[in-house]
Structure 1
């Protein structure tokens, strides 16, 4: 093998490894970005879950008030 061929092979190997390393670091950055997005989404989901639970509780209380017989009597008295 001549010296020129060996230099060319070394250059190609170096360029190949640097391209692979570059793709790997871009992949790591992408994974990190996706993880941050997932974490923020999980926090938002938890907040919405708490809000939904509070709203369900309020609806149950309102249903109890409306279906209570005393409520309808009070409503009729107010209408008079």
Structure 2
């Protein structure tokens, strides 16, 4: 192998490894962003579940109030 060919091969190998290394760094950055996004998403899901649970409890209270016989009586009184 001639000297020129060796220099060209070394340059190609160096550039190739540099490109591969940069691609690997970008891949790691993407995975980190994805993990951060997933943890944020998990926190939002937990918060929404708590809100739904609170709303369900409030709905149960409202259903008890509306189906209570005293509610019908007060409604009739208000009609008069």
- TM-score, normalized by the shorter chain, greater than 0.5: yes
Q: Partner of 2:24 in structure 1?
A: 24
**Which runs of 5 or more structure 1 residues have no equivalent in the other structure?**
none
**TM-score scaled by length of structure 2:** 0.92
What is the match of residue 14 of structure 1? 14
Structure 1 position 50, deviation (Å): 0.3
Gaps of 5+ in 2: none
Superposed, 1:1-80 pairs within 5 Å as: 1-80=1-80
Give runs of ≥4 in structure 1 deviating > 4 Å.
none
* CA deviation string 1:19-73 (max 9, x = no partner): 0000010011011111111111111111011001100110011001100112111
Helix, strand or coil for the counterpart of 1:64? helix
Q: CA deviation at 1:4?
A: 1.2
Aligned length in residues: 80
| Cα RMSD after superposing both structures | 1.0
